[in-house]
Chains A and B, each alone.
Chain A
Amino acid sequence: DSGVTQTPKHLITATGQRVTLRCSPRSGDLSVYWYQQSLDQGLQFLIHYYNGEERAKGNILERFSAQQFPDLHSELNLSSLELGDSALYFCASSPRGIAGSTDTQYFGPGTRLTVL
């Protein structure tokens, strides 16, 4: 158990809908990262938050957004869902994650999203 929690474990929804994925980092970790794993694209970095502030964006679509709250938990919002958004979404956390650091990221169990 990495100490990172994600809810829900599975989510089935229809095209055009909006969903929210939730992540709680390990105790004491300030950084949260979101990743998408699909058969087509492999594992891709989406976005990074550090202590409530957005720090870096990867291959995140404009239909997707995220935030990190004062208690450091994070939510990833996916809207106007398409079939191609079906994937495993991971949250990871690390102690720091600021520039110059290469600290280890610990992954949550993931949320499997199926868009029908």
Chain B
Amino acid sequence: AQKITQTQPGMFVQEKEAVTLDCTYDTSDPSYGLFWYKQPSSGEMIFLIYQGSYDQQNATEGRYSLNFQKARKSANLVISASQLGDSAMYFCAMREAVGKHSGGGADGLTFGKGTHLIIQP
């Protein structure tokens, strides 16, 4: 079963409008972190925002906010006042605090398939 689901393969949005990118996740761990990354056409992965499972308030970072609904296991990214430079792939990712693999270390991030966001002038 997929641990991270992003149901919107692509989105077209008018400049200056707000955008919501959907992400649902699946975990049985009580402690986990949720992340959003942006990947422009140049290829680098840019960290945007983080939400911890025990955080009481939704995370915000400038124009980015995370609509965290723990009971529904969703962590949607909201971009306010979109700009042309926001056009990119957006990935939702999760890290469970206790790794399931070897060594007792925490595992890497599990990523969704991404949403390709295009901002139109």
Interface residues in chain A, defined as those with a beta carbon under 8 Å from any beta carbon in chain B:
2, 33, 35, 42-48, 50, 53-58, 88, 90, 92, 97-102, 104-110, 112
Q: What is the distance, in angstroms, from A74's C-beta to the closest C-beta of chain B?
A: 13
- Does the CB pair B43–A88 fall under 8 Å? yes
Q: Determine whether the beta carbon of B108 is less than 8 Å from that of A98.
A: no
Q: For residue A42, which residue of chain B has the nearest CB?
A: B113
Give the residues from 88 to 119 in chain B that come closer than 8 angstroms, CB to CB, to chain A. 91, 93, 95, 97-99, 101-111, 113-114
Total residues of chain B contacting the partner, CB 8 A: 31
Mind listing 5 A-B residue pairs with CB under 8 Å?
Answer: A55-B102, A102-B31, A102-B33, A105-B108, A109-B43
Contact B107 A48 (CB under 8 A): yes
CB pair A45–B106 under 8 Å, yes or no, is no
Query: Are A102 and B52 also in contact (CB < 8 A) when A58-B108, A107-B37, A107-B45 are?
Result: yes
Q: Which residues of chain A are within 8 angstroms of B109 by Cβ–Cβ distance?
A: 33, 35, 43, 45, 92, 105
**Would you call A57 and B102 a contact (CB within 8 A)?**
yes
Across the interface, A56 reaches (CB within 8 A) one of B45, B52, B105, namely B105
Please provide the 7 A-B residue pairs with the shortest distance between their CB atoms, ordered closest to farther.
Answer: A55-B105, A45-B108, A102-B33, A107-B45, A43-B111, A56-B101, A55-B103
Encode contact with A along B24-58: 1 for CB under 8 Å, 0 otherwise.
Answer: 00000001110101000001111100101000000
How far, in angstroms, from A55 to B103 measured CA to CA in the complex?
5
Q: Which residues of A contact B95 (CB under 8 A)?
A: 102, 105
Residues from chain B with a CB closer than 8 A to the CB of A92 are 45, 108-109
